[in-house]
Structure 1
Amino acid sequence: MPLDWFKLSLQLNKFPINRAQKALEQIQKIPEDHYETYLLGKQKEIVEYQLKNNPFYRNLFEKPHFSTWSEVPVMTKTDLQQSLKNRLSEGFTKSTAYIGKTSGSSGTPFIFAKDKFTHALSWAGFQDRYQWYDIDLNKSLQARFYGIPLDFYGNIQERIKDRISLRRRFPIFDLSEEKMEKFLKRFQKSNFSYINGYTSAVLLFAKFLYGKNLVLKEICPNLKLCIVTSERLFKKDRELMQAVFGVPIVNEYGASEVGLIAFENLKNEWIINSEDLFVEILDQNNEAVPYGTEGRIVITSLYNKAHPIIRYDIGDSGILSNKSTAKKPILEKLIGRTNDIAKLPDGKVVPGLTFYYVTKSIIEDTGSIKEFIVNQNAPDSFKIEYVSKDDFTKNQQQKILQAIETYVGKNLKVDFERKNTLKRNKSGKLKQFTSDL
């Protein structure tokens, strides 16, 4: 009997995946007319738990007890930019919880924690959605268009995780024609079931195939699906990808700190995860807006006991469809998740999200770096604007320059400028990478 690699990898790390999958099944059985009651119960429960067990949250809440949901404060990323040990709930430590870093794709990075059951529940949700398209995380081989840490230990760790999780990495730090040729050869030789990756990187591969007049499904017959994430997918780009890959293109919306937020079903509806998250669309006064109206996406993790993620403003804005219900909310539109591409003098093309791997080298648990953006103002020249209590030290600048040399390219000029505030776009989103070219 073949091994269930996905389950095994979670169980080895003491994530109770079997319990999480059973819990998910039970939640999904709750009928529509009882679903609002389920959500309200979980919302009240998680707030009361954190008020009792988390001094950081009590301090943020500023009231002695929970009365109505509308009085629950909205958390921002800035609220969470302080040492993790201040934010962990009583009874949890860094060794008993799952610890992760946000990508910083919004320019505001921080470190977070999830209890092990919540992390397993997130994965149960991914497995459930992928099965809509006949993808089994235990058996289906993934072509992963992501970055990878380039330091020795980080790289080894990620590659081991990839092996166990049936993922094969297509690093996106260099997306030149030569690299694309190598990618193509891997598809010819391997039995990939699906592609998963950053929209801009997957799109560049699609354009490469289009230029060669190839259909990927004909080269790799096992291919069933392409999932794009982290950046906005435009209609014409989707049509191009669908034509050259020969499989459905699915939009995934997630964030490391909360897991899966929304996933497209077979009818092209972007279904919000209402099982372990409560997603609201709020106006500037933190009031819920009617369906069909644009507002800020605010998320509550209903099960995370290790760390409060309650009415958390994720930094995106969106619209819930008029067809939404409590059990089946539909994301009609996600606004403000796009990233540019950096083009270097030697012809190398690097997705803007590569700068996530640069930011990882400067994220500190002190929370001293509040926000930053990277701008390319010439083929070989970049400017990093940041908000921080102090100027970057020479040592910090050196670390960033080394990371840029490792992940982006050599002989690049980088200027640093500390600012009090950073310029935002109309939706209030901070775009981490922009290019003037």
Structure 2
Amino acid sequence: MLHKLIFQLGERLRNPSIRKWLTFLKQSENWSINELEAYQLQQLKELVAFAKEHSDYYKEKFAAIDVASFSSLTDIEQLPLLSKQDVLQHTETIHTKHNFEKVFTATTSGSSGDPLVYQREESADSFNRASIFRGYSWHKVQPWERNGYFWGFDFSTVKRFKIKLLDALQNRFRVFDYKEKAFKKFVKKLQRARYIHGYSSMIYQSAKLINDKNLPKPKHIKMVKGTSEKIYDSYKEEIEKAFGVPIISEYGAAETGIIAFECTEGAMHINMEGVIVEEIDHQIVVTNLQMKTFPIIRYQLGDYIDLASKQKKCTCGKAHYILEEVTGRIGENVYGKKEIYPSLYFYYIFKNLATKHNIKLTYQIIQKEKGILIFNLEEHLTNTNEKKLRQEIHSYFANDITYTICPNVTKKAGKQKTKSFISYL
């Protein structure tokens, strides 16, 4: 099969250790909880020792920590918490001074609107991809099969061409537009697809279009995976009606890697080989056990969660602990004068500014009326930077949105997670 060969060739070039990790993960998914926790403790001790030796930040933070004395996972509580602000303020010193053979540059703006650029080694990147592929295997899906993708792309001609080429190599096609014409074209392509993934709100919109317009329903879909946004209960019936399978959830973040993946029985299993998850005051605290270039240890991700009791067992047979619910990642719609857009357009606007122009802005967008937005920015904007911001906004909303840019606005600190988009509609 040509697509399989192309996919695996690209995989070997980019992620040479991915097959090793996938083999390991397929074995460890059958481990007992004691075996999983023993592995976590071993990885934690290695990670903390490495960070303490090679990272200036952790050298200071862990000065009084004797990691050799750790005898159980509860010893992790000796380590200080790591906030998003810590990560942003100390990005350079958190990075470890070690010669990794191959690293990738990763970028995320985060849900609070604060951009982060950091390095991730090949092994950690491959582990993360292998974790996703293991989740796919639970649903009888191979990653090289034909798939529809609801995700973003850069609007420059060169970038768009590059994205289309990469999509073709991965047997993938995508849509990032709420307009009916684009959806209908996408739905037609879904007839040959085996799985769908991406923004849950957009998957829902496509399902609604199929059902409302009585369009031909795809007959070969094995998996519908929602990411990056909360999957509302109201989405589920519509999606299953359109695609014939329930929508499942993948939960993670760029800095932490995959945190949990939903099995065929509807349980969100924590990726215990990759992360340690703590719940403190209903807030998730994550330790990435595999990344050593940029150690993420006891990281306050900013999401509110509900962990299942450790005694809860899934009928699928996997012993991995279960995440009952993520309550902090809520996707909302942005209303233009004529069209509806996903709120994650803002993510791409500010990510593009950070990666293309090194303009890193802390933002919060407010919508009180349809077709009107307020962009509140903490930073002062030069005329040049404001012009580039306006260009990016226009790329995504064209003339369908009227907006005001307000620089030098300080976000109010509160008990709840700061949202990058607040809608009063």
- When the two structures are superposed, what TM-score results if normalisation uses the length of structure 1? 0.86
1:300-334: CA deviation from partner (whole Å, max 9, x where unpaired): 11121111111111110101112458951101111
1:107 is displaced (CA, Å) by 2.2
Residue correspondence of structure 1 range 336-351 to structure 2 within 5 A: 336-345=328-337, 347-351=338-342
Correspondence for 1:157: 162
Residue correspondence of structure 1 range 331-410 to structure 2 within 5 A: 331-345=323-337, 347-363=338-354, 369=360, 371-388=362-379, 391-410=380-399
From 403, 406, 419, the counterpart of 1:416:
406
Distance 1:315 1:334 in 2: 11
Correspondence for 1:166: 171
Correspondence for 1:192: 193
**Identical aligned residues as a percent:** 27
Correspondence for 1:288: none
Distance 2:296 2:143 in 1: 27
Distance 1:31 1:161 in 2: 39
1:134-184: CA deviation from partner (whole Å, max 9, x where unpaired): 11013x1110011111123433333232222222111x2x31222222223
1:175-196: CA deviation from partner (whole Å, max 9, x where unpaired): 12222222233335xx111110
Structure 1 portions without partners, runs of 5+: 284-294
Distance 1:10 1:103 in 2: 26
Larger mean CA deviation between 17-26 and 310-319 belongs to 17-26
> Does the aligned pair in 2 maintain the 1:253–1:262 contact within 8 Å?
yes
Correspondence for 1:263: 261
Larger mean CA deviation between 321-330 and 47-56 belongs to 321-330
One-letter amino acid of the counterpart of residue 399, structure 1: K
1:81-114: CA deviation from partner (whole Å, max 9, x where unpaired): 1475443211247x83121112433323211222
> Does the aligned pair in 2 maintain the 1:51–1:65 contact within 8 Å?
no
Partner SS state of residue 363, structure 1:
helix
Correspondence for 2:72: none
One-letter amino acid of the counterpart of residue 88, structure 2: Q
From 182, 186, 190, the counterpart of 1:183:
186
Distance 1:132 1:332 in 2: 19
Correspondence for 1:142: 147
Residue correspondence of structure 1 range 271-350 to structure 2 within 5 A: 271-283=269-281, 295-322=282-309, 323-324=311-312, 327-345=319-337, 347-350=338-341
Change (3 A) 1:300 1:107: same
Partner SS state of residue 35, structure 2:
helix
1:370 is displaced (CA, Å) by 6.6
Partner SS state of residue 353, structure 2:
coil
Partner SS state of residue 363, structure 2:
strand
From 420, 427, 433, the counterpart of 2:421:
433
Change (3 A) 1:367 1:413: closer
Residue correspondence of structure 1 range 163-242 to structure 2 within 5 A: 163-170=168-175, 172=176, 174-188=177-191, 191-214=192-215, 216=217, 220-242=218-240
1:385-413: CA deviation from partner (whole Å, max 9, x where unpaired): 2334xx12222221111101001222632
Correspondence for 1:58: 59
Distance 1:82 1:96 in 2: 25
Larger mean CA deviation between 409-418 and 146-155 belongs to 409-418
1:369 is displaced (CA, Å) by 4.7
> Does the aligned pair in 2 maintain the 1:103–1:256 contact within 8 Å?
no
Residue correspondence of structure 1 range 96-135 to structure 2 within 5 A: 96-135=102-141
Distance 1:417 1:367 in 2: 17
Distance 2:356 2:388 in 1: 16
Aligned residues: 412
From 70, 82, 86, the counterpart of 1:79:
86
Distance 2:91 2:103 in 1: 12
Change (3 A) 1:364 1:194: closer
1:234 is displaced (CA, Å) by 1.4
Partner SS state of residue 316, structure 1:
strand
Change (3 A) 1:25 1:225: closer
1:60 is displaced (CA, Å) by 3.9
Distance 1:65 1:153 in 2: 51
1:247 and 2:239 aligned: no
> Does the aligned pair in 1 maintain the 2:359–2:385 contact within 8 Å?
no
1:376 is displaced (CA, Å) by 2.1
Partner SS state of residue 362, structure 2:
strand
Distance 2:344 2:398 in 1: 14
Structure 2 portions without partners, runs of 5+: 70-74
> Does the aligned pair in 2 maintain the 1:353–1:433 contact within 8 Å?
no
One-letter amino acid of the counterpart of residue 239, structure 2: M
Larger mean CA deviation between 19-28 and 108-117 belongs to 19-28
Distance 1:367 1:26 in 2: 43
- When the two structures are superposed, what TM-score results if normalisation uses the length of structure 2? 0.89
Change (3 A) 1:106 1:245: farther
Correspondence for 1:290: none
